[in-house]
Amino acid sequence: MYIKYIILYQILMILLFFTEITPLVEFTNIKCTSFDKKYNDFEYCRLKSVNRSFKYMSLKVNLYKVPITKVKVNFAMLKRYSGYKPFLYNITVDACKILKHPKSNPIFGFFHGLFKKHSNMNHTCPYDHDLVVDKLPTSFINQQVTGALSFPHGDYLFHSDWFAYGVHRATVDFFYTLS
């Protein structure tokens, strides 16, 4: 009888342990779209699996009208049911203002923190060069997100719209699964 309880207790602890370390973020796709190829264009935009444990994202945007001093970003999270539906976040920010005062928007700060160490988008405006995210390991994002967020399992889309001088210039979509 006693032994049975000990075994039950151990099974419970193992289950709790696995509950704690979920969710696991698995990136499945990344999609970049430019709406005015004379203004900006994506040289590349890819998710690459090197092997089972190493997957990374890289993207490069060529900017043809620099310097840029006014940038607005709308980012929204969507969850897939029958089609993607808005889920929790839909925020528009003045990126130049926030880069100057990073603490003014913790949510933007969190997302910027996910890629700024692997990117040259790591300074205040103006931007007078092409933008690069270089081999951002998805495991790094996984580490940052695990524990910080607890969302239901499922397929998600992190959608971002980029505006310069009030004009919609580009969209970058990240598709991922929480399991």
Ligand X SMILES: *[C@@H]1O[C@H](CO)[C@@H](O)[C@H](O)[C@H]1NC(C)=O
Q: Which residues contact ligand X (rule: CB under 6 A)?
A: 50-51, 53-54, 76, 78, 86, 90, 120, 122-123, 159
Measure the CA–CA gap between 94 and 70, rounded to whole angstroms.
8
Q: What are phi and psi of 108, to 5 degrees?
A: -60, -40
**1: three-class secondary structure by DSSP:** coil
The tokens 């210039």 sit on which residue? 169
Q: Measured from the CB atom, is 36 or 76 closer to ligand X?
A: 76
Nearer to ligand X, 63 or 76 (CB): 76
Closest approach of Cβ 139 to ligand X, in Å? Answer: 11
Give the Cα separation of 148 and 151 in Å (integer): 10
Q: Which is nearer to ligand X, 122 or 150 (CB)?
A: 122
Q: How far is the CB of 77 from ligand X (least distance, A)?
A: 8
Least CB distance to ligand X at residue 160 (A) = 9
Neighbour count for residue 132 (Cβ, 10 Å) = 16
Q: Least distance to ligand X from the beta carbon of 86, Å?
A: 4
